[in-house]
Structure 1
Amino acid sequence: MQLEYAVFQELRRIADSGTFLTYGIRVWRREGGGKLLLRQVSDVSVSRPFVEQIAALCNRYELAPEHLMDVIEDAFGK
């Protein structure tokens, strides 16, 4: 199975704090000529480089999608 971890951005709104840009990770499986979304974790961080680093490590080590939250939590030292 060919997996691809990719960063995406979205705008978040918090009452009394306003709107801000945040980044998450999507996991895609390549199938035939397209891609199937397997998992999405929103609002990982406001730091794009931090989220890109997590996604790159997931791609490098071909992480199984069910372990994505564990890797994110570990990246924050939880």
Structure 2
Amino acid sequence: MFVYRCVMERQTCPEIGWYQSFGLAVYCTRPGSQVLLTALFDISLDRAFVERLAEDCTRFQLDPVHLMDVAEDALA
């Protein structure tokens, strides 16, 4: 089972300095174990948006190979 979680990160940009952004971490879970498969950082500054995206990806069991496409579509 894939579990998507919203993760917070501090980023830096030469023009604006430090800022807080949110991305997704993808875990493969089995009884008694959880393995981080991949992560996609700096998706949005909107935590609620990324949390909803994580919930949808988990609910529909999105294969992580499609994560970048889904994130781009969600931002469009």
With normalisation by structure 1, the TM-score equals: 0.90
Q: Which runs of 5+ in 2 are unaligned?
A: none
Q: With a CA cutoff of 8 Å and minimum separation of 6, indicate the structure with the bigger relative contact order.
A: 2
Match of 1:8 in 2: 7
Q: CA deviation at 1:15?
A: 1.2
Match of 2:58 in 1: 59
In the alignment, structure 1 residue 33 sits paired with structure 2 residue 69: no
Q: What percent identity do the matched residue pairs reach? A: 36
Count the aligned residue pairs: 76
**For residues 3-47 of structure 1, what are the alpha-carbon distances to aligned partners after superposition, in whole Å with 9 as ceiling and x for unaligned?**
100010010111131111000001000134221111100000010
CA distance in 1, matches of 2:67, 2:59: 13
Q: Which runs of 4+ in 1 moved over 2 A?
A: none
CA distance in 2, matches of 1:28, 1:14: 29
CA distance in 1, matches of 2:4, 2:15: 33
1:16 match: secondary structure: coil
With normalisation by structure 2, the TM-score equals: 0.92
**For residues 45-64 of structure 1, what are the alpha-carbon distances to aligned partners after superposition, in whole Å with 9 as ceiling and x for unaligned?**
01000111111110111111
